[in-house]
Each structure stands twice: as structure tokens, then as C-alpha cells.
Amino acid sequence: MFRILVADDEGIMLESISHIIKSNFGSDCEIACVKTGRAVIEQAGSFRPDIAFVDIQMPGLNGIQAIREVRKFNPSIVFIIITAYDKFSYAQEAVNLGVMEFIMKPVNKKKILDVCVKAMHQVEEARQRLSDDLRIREKLEIVIPMIESGFIYNVLQDDSELSKNGYLEMLDIKKPYGFMIILEFGDSIEGGTMTNAIGVSVRVNKHYSMVREIVKDYFDCVIGPAMGNRLVLFLSYEQEKVRYEERVEIITRTRNMIHKLESATDIKCRGGIGSVKTLEGIRDSYKEALKSLRESDSHVVHITDIPAVADYDGEYPLDLENQYLQRGAKADREGALSCAGEFFDWMLVHDGNVRSNIEIKILELVMRLERRAFEAGNVRYGFRYRENYLEELKEAVDGEALKRWFLNKTREVCDNISTSREREYENVVSRVKAYIDENYARDISLDDVSRMVDISPYYFSKLFKQEVGENFIEYVTRTRIKNARRLLGDSRYSIKEVCIMSGYSDPNYFSRIFKKYEGMTPSEYRER
């Protein structure tokens, strides 16, 4: 259905154009007729036409003036100007107003119909674009929460490779810092903990969509899934630190948001807010938000408002220390060594006269890195592994020797982590290759072998290609073709038998795959 407005101060023109449209398009069109520019504006608001034929010369406001006013509140109408005058004097302004076409009086039937069809196509295209946009938005409404949930899970798992995983780009996160807010739901607060966590978690999940909408009204943030009776929020931030006024504003907004959530869901809620961190260390902000909830029974509490919050005297490169541990635990040897060297130089400048302080600190950092590597399952760990550490530090004759010890130990831990991973990867891939070599004649799927080595199909596929140089399907196919060549050399087997013995049930498909890899059919290969 198309709504068409016809505007002309001549009654005969209105009747003529209306009759042409009705007689050719019938019930597909609803037509309204007016005789003044003012009426055009009024009908644009109430009738809301898709297409409008407008005469330039009408009493009061002329056609161009009326179109200009309509464009202010309804930019989608397709306008066609009707005029008995030289159109060139109006052409420039009409173009600026997006008029589709001029029709010179006296009008003829063919011209009206041609213009109508053209305008209807334009309306249909606009409707289709709107429909497509709405469909995309509907899909995004489904996909975005999933992406945001993945981002939060990565943060909680202490995975700092957010950019490599694509989350920063997908969520359009461009600011270098951020902080976390934890919302905790329950029936009441007892001893700093929300009661009936399990029962409330069911209700929170039920209201999850509404909770997301309310939170997004107050903060431009990433929202995680409902995890038990908690909801984790990430807010990106431009500065390294939050000024006092900004901190108060964040707390106030969080408080107002919580009041709105409680009213909408009839569930009690409280919030803990962590301090600003780099994106690599954002999990520390999550820990602080959790700590603020545990050490206060306030409705909303910021970590900096807790008296017992840990802090360092004077300037301390905490971010550098965290980067050292994070990069080292990921076997990023060059990154960890760079951080270690920079940290050691900082200690020389700030505490170079007290050697024992430097010895204790580098020993602490190395042992913390080893502990992280052990907890990740990458290195062995034992009571006597460090029995020479103190002696080695005492034997270091000067600061350069201490720095070498620090760097060497850092390099050693990173190499052990890397070697351990490589050995594990090689072991997994070797098992799979051996399985393929023995079972190539059977139906082998990526899911089957992934289950066999207890690794998700997606991760295993990536690992296999990284280690072997080709993907899983290519390796299976190459193995089958290699054995097919061997079997074709034995005249006891027919080509159909070779096909089945090579893991293929369809001889035609086998022939196509064989030719793709060998440049000839199985029959041609056997003859040669």
C-alpha cells in the first residue's frame, strides 16, 4: 500500500492525477488531495504520505516552501513537483530539497504513471533498507550480549590478550584504561554478604534483559552474563586515575542505578567499584570491586574508600610489576625481560644504596613468576628447586651482576614455560597424527579426535595447523591419497576397493580428490 498526496490549487488537476493513479493502481494506493501549501504541511504530519505530487504555485505558501517545511520533520517523502512555469528557476533549490522529478503542465497519463512507478520503487527500496537495518539490529541485540559475555569471561580468566581475541575491536573499546563494577543481588545484607544467593540468581536471570537496559541507561559499559547472583560491568576510561569529583559522580550514578534496579526487579542490590587499571591489568580492578563488597556493608562502595586498601609509599611502578608477571606467565620472554630491566633500573635510582632491598625484591618477583607458571601447569615446582638462590644473590659482586641474575632467572622461567607448552602441543599432535595414520580408512572427524585429546575442536584445529602447517582435513586427505597411491600399485585391488580402503565411500568423489592432488585420475595413475 502506498499513500499518495496530490497538491494543486486547480480542481481539474487534482481530479485528473487522482483518476490516473486510481485507475491503474487501484487498491494499492490511498490518495489524499489538498489545494494549499499549508495543507501539504498538515497532511505530511497526519496522512504521512509516501509520495507527494506538489504544484509550485499555490495560495499562501508555494510548493517549494511547503516542501522545505515538511523536510524538517519528514525526510522520507518522495516529492514530485508539478509546474506550468520554467522549471530551471526552481531546479537548484528542488535538488537541495531532494525532489525526485519535475512534471510540466499540461500533464499526460504516461508521464504520471512512469513517475509513479519510479517513486514506488524508491519507496520500496527505502522500506527494504529499513527492514534490513531492523533485522541487523535484531541480530546485534542477540550477538552483542554474547560478545560482551566473552569479554568479561576473558577478564575473569586473567586473559590479557583482549585485543588479539578481537574483543576490543568488536566492542569498539579505544580507551587505554578501565575499571570494574560488581553488582550483587540478594534478599538482604548480612555480615557484608547478600542472602539467598542461589534463589536470587534465578530471578536475576529472569530479569536479565531488563537489567541490561537499565544499566545501559546509566553507563556506557560492557555487561557480563548473570553469574550466580552477581553481574560484572566493565567501563573504559581515558585517564590513568579518577579525580575525586569524578569518583563521587560514578558512585552517585551507581547508587541511582541500583535504586532503579531494585524498584524494577524487587530484588535488593549493592555495588562494589574497583580502581582504574590498564586493560592488561583490568582483572585487578575486578578483585578490588569484590574486595570492596566484602569489606563494607554499604549500598555502594569504591575501593579507595576502604581504609585498609593496600597502597604503596611514594611512587611505585605497580603497572610495570604487573606487566612483568603477566608477560612472563605467557612465555613472552622479550616482553618480560624488557619489564625486568626497566624495573631493576628504577630500583637502582630509587633505592640503589640499599642492596638488600633490591635483592629481596628481585627474589620476590622471580618466585612470584615461578609460582604463576606452576599454577598454570607449565613448570614443575618443589621445595628444593630454589636452594641456591640466596647464595647466588650474595655472590653477585655488584648491581650489574644482580641484574644479570634477575634477567637470567626471568629468561629461564619463560623458556621453561615455552618448552613445556611446545612439548605438550607436540605430544597432542603426535598422538593425533598416529591415530590418523592407523585409522585413515575409517570416518575420522575433527570432533572425534578433539574429544580423544580432550581439547575443544576450535582450539585443536588452530593448534594442529600451527604445529603441522596444514589444517586437519588437509592432513587427513593427504594421508588417504598417499595410501591410495600405494594401494593402486597393487594390482590385486580394484579401484573401487582402493577407494573404500582409503576412507572414501563414493568412487566419483575419490576420483575428483585424487586428481586434485595428483593431477590425474586413479585409473591414469595405475596405468602410468
pLDDT in tens, 466-500: 778 888 889 999 999 999 999 998 888 898 999 99
- Fold of the 2-128 domain: Rossmann fold (3.40.50)
Q: Pick from 138-147, 154-163, 329-338, 448-457 the range whose average pLDDT is largest.
A: 329-338
| Domain regions of the chain by residue span | 2-128, 175-305, 318-400, 440-527
Looking at residue 38, its pLDDT comes to 93
Residue 418 pLDDT > 80, yes or no?
Answer: no
pLDDT digits (tens, 9 = 90+) for 506-521: 889 989 999 999 899 9
DSSP at 227:
B
How many whole angstroms separate alpha carbon 163 and alpha carbon 280? 10
- b/e burial code for range 405-434 (CB count within 10 A of at least 16 → b): bbbebbbebbebbeebeeeeeeebbeebbe
Residue 102 pLDDT > 90, yes or no?
Answer: no
How many whole angstroms separate alpha carbon 466 and alpha carbon 429? 10
- Amino acid identity of residue 42, one-letter, is E
Q: Grid coordinates standing for 14?
A: 487534482
Looking at residue 386, its pLDDT comes to 75
Q: Please give the CATH number for the structural domain made up of 440-527.
A: 1.10.10.60
Looking at residue 89, its pLDDT comes to 62
How many whole angstroms separate alpha carbon 55 and alpha carbon 84? 9
Is the fold of 2-128 the same as that of 175-305?
A: no
Residue 353 pLDDT > 80, yes or no?
Answer: no
Indicate the average pLDDT of the chain: 85
Query: What is the architecture of the domain spanning 175-305?
Result: 2-Layer Sandwich (3.30)
- Amino acid identity of residue 50, one-letter, is D
Beta bridge partners of 235: 179
pLDDT over 70 for what percent of the chain? 89
Cα–Cα nearest to 352, from 386, 407, 399, 389: 399
How many whole angstroms separate alpha carbon 13 and alpha carbon 6? 9
How many whole angstroms separate alpha carbon 459 and alpha carbon 69? 59
309 pLDDT band, cuts 50/70/90, is very low
Q: Grid coordinates standing for 480?
A: 588417504
Looking at residue 405, its pLDDT comes to 93
Which residues, in sequence order, are CB contacts of 319 under 8 Å at separation 6+? 277, 278, 281
Give the residue-averaged pLDDT of 372-393.
72
Give the residue-averaged pLDDT of 195-221.
90
Residue 77: count other Cβ atoms within 10 Å of its Cβ: 22
Higher pLDDT: 425 or 461? It is 461
Which residues, in sequence order, are CB contacts of 138 under 8 Å at separation 6+? none
425 pLDDT band, cuts 50/70/90, is low
How many whole angstroms separate alpha carbon 347 and alpha carbon 358? 7
Residue 177 pLDDT > 90, yes or no?
Answer: yes
Residue 228 pLDDT > 50, yes or no?
Answer: yes
- b/e burial code for range 193-224 (CB count within 10 A of at least 16 → b): ebeebeebbebbeebeeebbebbeeebebbbb
| 469 phi and psi angles, rounded to 5 deg | 95, -5
Q: Is the separation of the CB atoms in 97 and 67 below 8 Å?
A: yes
Helix (H) or strand (E) holding 270: strand 268-273
How many whole angstroms separate alpha carbon 152 and alpha carbon 235? 11
pLDDT digits (tens, 9 = 90+) for 250-293: 999 999 999 999 999 999 999 999 999 998 889 889 999 998 88
- Amino acid identity of residue 33, one-letter, is C
pLDDT over 90 for what percent of the chain? 34
Give the residue-averaged pLDDT of 326-332.
83
Which residues, in sequence order, are CB contacts of 300 under 8 Å at separation 6+? 251, 254, 255, 258, 270, 271, 272, 273
168 pLDDT band, cuts 50/70/90, is confident
Residue 348 pLDDT > 60, yes or no?
Answer: yes
How many whole angstroms separate alpha carbon 212 and alpha carbon 206? 12
Q: Grid coordinates standing for 286?
A: 575486578
